[in-house]
Amino acid sequence: MIRRFNMFNLTSLTFGLAFLYLPLLLVVIYSFNDSRLVTVWGGFSTKWYGIVLNNEAYLAAAWITLRIAFVSATLATVLGTLSAVVMVRMGRFPGRTLFSGMIYAPLVMPEVVTGLSLLLLFVAIGLDRGFWTITIAHATFAMCYASVVVSSRLASFDRSLEDAALDLGCTPFSAFRQVTLPVIAPAVISAWLLSFTLSLDDLVIATFTSGPGSTTLPMKLYSSVRLGVSPEINALSSMLIGIVTLGVIAASLINRRQERRQQQDTRAAAAAA
Amino acid sequence: MNFHDPASTAAQAEPVSALTQDRTPLIRFENVTKTFGSFTAISDLNLNIREREFFSLLGPSGCGKTTMMRLLAGFEEVTSGRILLDGQDLTGIPANRRPVNMMFQSYALFPHMSVAKNIGFGLKQERWKKSDIQDRVDEMLALVQLEDFADRKPHQLSGGQMQRVALARSLAKKPKVLLLDEPLGALDKKLREETQFQLMDVQDRLGLTFIIVTHDQDEAMTVSSRIAVMKAGKLLQTDTPARIYEHPASSYVADFIGNVNLINVELAGMDGELALARWDGGTRLAIRPQPEDVLTPGARKTLVLRPEKIHVTKDQPAEAPNVNRVEGTVEEISYTGSASTFLVRLDGGQLIRAQEANRLLTSRREVDWNDRVWLSWRAGACVLVDA
Amino acid sequence: MSTSGPRRLLILLPYLWLGLFFLVPFLIVIKIALSDSVTASPPYAPTFSLDEGLAGLRAAFAALDFENFVWLAEDGIYLKAYLNSVKVAAIATLLTLMIGYPVAYAMAKAPQDWRKTLLLLVILPFWTSFLIRIYAWIGILKNEGFLNLTLMKLGLIDQPLAIMHTEIAVYIGIVYSYLPFMILPLYASLERIDGRLLEAAEDLGCSAFAAFRQITLPLSLPGVVAGCFLVFIPAIGEFVIPDLLGGSGTLMIGKTLWLEFFSNRDWGVAAAVAIVLLTILIVPIVLFQRHQQKHQEELG
């Protein structure tokens, strides 16, 4: 049992984490810079946040991005969970190899290729590009990630729980709904969160599949970033960093508290026996 | 600790001996075969199980006993043949519509539901009224003495408590047959013995048919009215525990249940009621044959002799026609508390295992390593099986 | 389970979705790569149209050729872009490994109750926007950025270092963005190593370093291989990093595809570039999958 860090390990961790966090920290610090010159400190100010929050274009882009992320994550989670069930539970069926290929290929496909191919499809079938084309594109590549997340949980799921439900009178469908789904729910939620984040974060595929009037936040951010560093982008980035950080920390705290309570319960039960 | 049935309406148990005879069987396996791909799990098997039996399927892992149970529960379909329950052909009836419930090896308690929800789960599927479910769950909780645990989650229970919840859940729907898959495998030894008696008590009180799958011969011997010993998808012997132990049908069954000396002999002839056999062409042994034994002089047979039936003495026992005596040297003594097992090398080179209860303190034991001893057993203490 | 209706529906739904939105688009890419570019909308010919019936379809097929691929082969710039992508991805992967290994090692050796927090700290930046993470480096690396300002203030340099818009900036961007992909599999394989193995090695006379070299390193190899593939494969097709951090001289194939499509509006060549990019990726992907499968079997 290791209780302390040794010097070497402490040094690597410090440098590693500094490398990961310093760049983001600089962005956050300079988002409070009063000066327009991004590298010269001109005093503390929150004015850039006000400017960003009053910028219609950013707000519109943020709103459309959130809507796309919500719808596509939901679609991706449903489709991904279905695919996971097919992959883990269905055994052999005609076309299984093709199916597993189609599940795994998008994970390693360069975004530019995915984006290009979907755009070409939408052009070929004459679908107007906009909200729905981006949503479909995001759902398609996110469902593969969702499927991987749910599959790995499903693979370790104790099949006898389902057998027990069948034995007690459930149909296969109601056994899945009443027993399997609640038990794998944390994985399904993770899959949704991952899909949601992937969609929020995506620039390349959205750029290919978007149309007029459907500019997402990453697309807006990208066109601003190309013009260089600006305090507005610092403020916008800091807000996004803040939201994500709070979300992830909250999720992990809840998770850890549940785990700890479960451990305590188990220990108490063992002691009482 | 004893289970008491709060409903106290349970049928009075008849003696097992009356039950095991002259009844139309509750469950019939008729020429049942089950294959998985090229692997044959169950091969052309016939078996009758009667109402209110406590029936054990016993065998090493991979012998097909779990497959038998899963066929009965409906998780697998027979490849050929059929299974009848109460005269009804079960073929094509899915697991959720069979009047059979199962207690799983891992208990399979739903981790996201309370103890009460777990027990009431099967009733909810049958759309019982809420109040009726509540009553039945209370009754079941009382049966397994877990009244105070209704709102606990499975992970808040000890192994023994989980086992009892699993039992209560599988009994809640009043199944015709309860299947128990290695029900005590996850418990430690002491709790296991205690629970064995609880299971027998519940079965007796509720008057149900229990079928238990186990690889633990002691467990099967303790709880069952009858045992089926399986090997490689076939039934080797189906009989009461005492018959299985004392009159095994084959040397495999004899060897699988308990310790045994298997001695290859050649039949020599008869001496009144006793059969005479030659051991390694030398020693003559007397055996009291069973009515069904076919005794052809010159035939090769295997003599099944349990260690505890053999006496170990330093003095030569008195000669009698129905007593077998051989002399040898003690090679090894293993002490297990209640008894000691002696490994004795006979003068002909054979090794015999004999067991004596430790009636005296070990310090007073007469026989020691390398002592010359006499082994003796009565002609009626051993049986012949086919070699 | 039997092949019942609901079961078939369950398979069909995701199957059809992936078929329509993954497989069909892919076939269209192949088809367009074989078409000719024209100034029209859509900017390629021939287009399939069912109005003309089977004869039209046959004519359309006959018009397909490898002209775009010939173009790729003849113009040296594409070959250079491919080679450069592989080179940049390979060097960046090595750098990521060199930085990631000590961090993953330190995490695996950290006190038990620290490990979860450290894992969270490593993953956290991965959840923040990719663009923002690249953007953060623009502010650091540009001529009047934090790095140059700091170095000049310390008197280490007189002239700002020109890092921005060079391949070095691209390396930094890739290492930074993909570091979690390297650390996670490394950490997983390092953490799994039984501490008693090292005690046994030292008991048998190994020095701490020799024990690391002979026990820890070989046992962490599966993690090294997995991490390298997880960085190398996406890095090859990367677009955002070379576009924002690299200069006009930094040729990478993802960026080339983007330019062909959006700037030159040459869909045929863009599709051909995509096909060649995928062919290049097939080798590492297949190797990776083999490795994962083997590793899984060893664990199972």
Which pLDDT tens digit goes with each residue over A226-237?
888 888 899 999
How far separated are the first and last CA of chain C, in Å rounded? 25
Distance CA C17, CA C279 (A): 24
In this predicted structure, what is the pLDDT of residue A4?
Answer: 66
Burial class of residue B225 in the structure, from the number of CB atoms within 10 Å of its CB (0-12 exposed, 13-18 middle, 19+ buried): buried
In chain A, residues with a C-beta closer than 8 Å to the C-beta of B170 are 167-168
With contact defined as beta carbons under 8 Å apart, do A146 and A81 qualify? yes
> How many angstroms away from the CA of A203 is the closest CA of chain B?
39
ipTM score of complex: 0.89
Contact assignment for A163 to B95 by CB distance below 8 Å: yes
CA-based nearest residue to A206, from A64, A33, A37 = A64
In chain C, residues with a C-beta closer than 8 Å to the C-beta of A138 are none
With contact defined as beta carbons under 8 Å apart, do B358 and B338 qualify? yes
Q: Which residue of chain A is at minimal alpha-carbon distance from C278?
A: A109
Distance CA A237, CA A30 (A): 11
Residue C32, domain member (yes or no): no
Distance CA B5, CA B164 (A): 14
Partners of residue B230 on adjacent β-strands:
B235
In chain C, residues with a C-beta closer than 8 Å to the C-beta of A95 are 15
- Which domains does chain B carry? 16-99+175-252 (3.40.50.300), 259-386 (2.40.50.100)
pLDDT band, residue A92 (cuts 50/70/90): confident
Distance CA B310, CA B304 (A): 12
Q: Which residue of chain A is at minimal alpha-carbon distance from B188?
A: A273
Q: Which residue of chain B is at minimal alpha-carbon distance from A182?
A: B112
Place of tokens 């690396």: C141
Chains in contact with A, counting 3 or more C-beta pairs less than 8 Å apart as contact: B, C
Residue A272, domain member (yes or no): no
In chain C, residues with a C-beta closer than 8 Å to the C-beta of A82 are 10, 13-14
Partners of residue B33 on adjacent β-strands:
B80
Residue C1, domain member (yes or no): no
The low-confidence residues of chain C, meaning pLDDT below 70, are 1-5, 37-43, 45-61, 299-300
In this predicted structure, what is the pLDDT of residue A147?
Answer: 96
In chain A, residues with a C-beta closer than 8 Å to the C-beta of C236 are 110
In this predicted structure, what is the pLDDT of residue C179?
Answer: 95
- The two tokens of residue C239 are 């677009």
In chain A, residues with a C-beta closer than 8 Å to the C-beta of C136 are 23-24, 26-27, 237
In this predicted structure, what is the pLDDT of residue A91?
Answer: 79
**How many domains does chain C fold into?**
1
Distance CA C241, CA C228 (A): 18
Of A112, A228, A245, the CB nearest to C258: A112
For helices A231-272 and C112-127, the axis angle rounded to 10 degrees is: 150
Residue A258, domain member (yes or no): no
CA B162 to chain centre: 23
Angle at C10 between CA A209 and CA A148, to 5 degrees: 60
Partners of residue B285 on adjacent β-strands:
B277
- C133-147 burial by CB neighbour count: b if 16+ within 10 A, else e? bbbbbbbbbbeebbb
Q: Tell me the per-residue pLDDT of A5-28, one tens digit each, with 9 for 90 and over.
A: 788 889 999 999 999 999 999 999
Q: Tell me the per-residue pLDDT of B213-223, one tens digit each, with 9 for 90 and over.
A: 998 888 899 99
With contact defined as beta carbons under 8 Å apart, do A167 and B70 qualify? no
In this predicted structure, what is the pLDDT of residue A215?
Answer: 93
In this predicted structure, what is the pLDDT of residue C68?
Answer: 84
| Interface residue C109 vs chain A (CB under 8 A) | yes
In chain A, residues with a C-beta closer than 8 Å to the C-beta of B213 are none
| Interface residue C32 vs chain A (CB under 8 A) | yes
Residue in B104, B173, B213 to test binding to A, most A beta-carbons within 10 Å: B104
Let me know how long chain C is. Answer: 300
| Interface residue C98 vs chain A (CB under 8 A) | no
Q: Which residue of chain B is at minimal alpha-carbon distance from A265?
A: B156
Distance CA C192, CA B260 (A): 45
| pLDDT over 60 at A3, yes or no | no
With contact defined as beta carbons under 8 Å apart, do B207 and B13 qualify? yes
With contact defined as beta carbons under 8 Å apart, do A24 and C133 qualify? yes
Mean pLDDT of A75-81: 96
A122: containing domain: 41-244
In this predicted structure, what is the pLDDT of residue B109?
Answer: 95
| Interface residue C97 vs chain A (CB under 8 A) | no
Distance CA C258, CA C236 (A): 14
The low-confidence residues of chain B, meaning pLDDT below 70, are 1-23, 281
In this predicted structure, what is the pLDDT of residue A272?
Answer: 66
Of C3, C6, C139, the CB nearest to A38: C139
Of B102, B156, B158, the CB nearest to A167: B102
Distance CA B314, CA B372 (A): 7
C173: containing domain: 66-299
DSSP for B374-386, written as a single string: EEEEEGGGEEEEE
CATH of the domain at C105: 1.10.3720.10
> How many angstroms away from the CA of C282 is the closest CA of chain A?
10
In this predicted structure, what is the pLDDT of residue A1?
Answer: 47
In this predicted structure, what is the pLDDT of residue B134?
Answer: 96
In chain A, residues with a C-beta closer than 8 Å to the C-beta of B177 are none
Cα separation values, C27 from A271, C19, C30, Å: 62, 10, 5
Cα separation values, A214 from A129, A136, A210, Å: 8, 14, 6
**How many domains does chain A fold into?**
1
CA-based nearest residue to C173, from C134, C146, C138 = C134
Of C7, C26, C129, the CB nearest to A117: C26
Q: Are strands B209-214 and B177-181 parallel, antiparallel or unpaired?
A: parallel
With contact defined as beta carbons under 8 Å apart, do B244 and B272 qualify? no
Distance CA C79, CA C70 (A): 12
Residue C216, domain member (yes or no): yes
Chain A to chain C, count of Cβ pairs less than 8 Å apart? 243
Residue A23, domain member (yes or no): no
The residues, ordered by sequence, that sit 6+ positions from C182 with a Cβ below 8 Å of its Cβ are: C96, C97, C99, C100, C104, C227, C228, C230, C231
- The two tokens of residue C25 are 């688009």
CATH of the domain at A171: 1.10.3720.10
Q: Which amino acid is at B4?
A: H
Whether the bond between C46 and the residue before it is cis, its omega within 30 degrees of 0, is yes
Distance CA C30, CA C22 (A): 13
Of B108, B112, B170, the CB nearest to A182: B112
Distance CA A118, CA A137 (A): 7
In this predicted structure, what is the pLDDT of residue B360?
Answer: 81
Burial class of residue B349 in the structure, from the number of CB atoms within 10 Å of its CB (0-12 exposed, 13-18 middle, 19+ buried): exposed
Residue C55, domain member (yes or no): no
**Residue A221: its H or E element:** helix A217-226
Distance CA A5, CA C102 (A): 13
With contact defined as beta carbons under 8 Å apart, do A231 and A38 qualify? yes
